[in-house]
Chains A and B, each alone.
Chain A
Amino acid sequence: GQQVMQIPQYQHVQEGEDFTTYCNSSTTLSNIQWYKQRPGGHPVFLIQLVKSGEVKKQKRLTFQFGEAKKNSSLHITATQTTDVGTYFCAGAQAGTALIFGKGTTLSVSS
């Protein structure tokens, strides 16, 4: 079945450093979504990528979807303490449920 792999599992950075998490799917995706989950909270939708090679930005966050629509990345520039949490990628084929990666837990020290 479809698998979504995400690395690294954990990442600790100093405030102001950059951070990147990578996501790879075993199958071609129709779309990939990114979620952020704070400790004790539920996943919150960040963005959806649909087109091959798509790049989207949200302030300090940059999301990319690979040309083959099988990989994606989330890059945070100049991290802040408010960025802490677990970032999940989730991929889906057309009409199917999202399959989540294991997530990357980001911690930031000031």
Chain B
Amino acid sequence: GAVVSQHPSWVICKSGTSVKIECRSLDFQATTMFWYRQFPKQSLMLMATSNEGSKATYEQGVEKDKFLINHASLTLSTLTVTSAHPEDSSFYICSARGTSGSGNEQFFGPGTRLTVL
């Protein structure tokens, strides 16, 4: 199946710093990428939908100025957590949906575990 990578796989940062997470579709073009957050033992919560070349659509309650999303190409989307705080510590997972083939199937990256001290 299609492969989606994320980098880094884990990151520890100090409170107040910014962290960038990359999501790449390795063997297909992703017109749409999604960013989810998952707290321990909880479900995946959709944060935003990112379409290549346009502004991301954020879910209710997600601060767009805090979670900056850029989808500059058909294979790369980035999520920047600005001025991170301990409550932002979570597992961030991206997924990508291709331009053809399996329709609505989303391919998930391995996730990035963020710990803010």
Contacts and interface: CB of A to CB of B under 8 A. Distances in A.
B104 A48 contact: yes
A97 B49 contact: yes
Nearest to A48: B105
Contacts of A8: none
For this complex, into which size category does the number of interface residues on chain A fall?
20 to 34
Interface stretch (B66-74, B82-90, B108-116): B108-116
Q: Which of A33, A45, A48, A101 has the most CB of B within 10 A?
A: A45
A22 to B, nearest CB: 15
Nearest to B46: A97
The interface residues of chain B, by DSSP majority, are classed as loop
A103 B43 contact: yes
Contacts of A55: none
B32 to A, nearest CB: 8
A48 to B, nearest CB: 6
A98 B93 contact: no
B46 A45 contact: no
A63 interface: no
A99 interface: yes
Interface of A: 1, 30-31, 33, 35, 41-45, 48, 88, 92, 97-103, 105
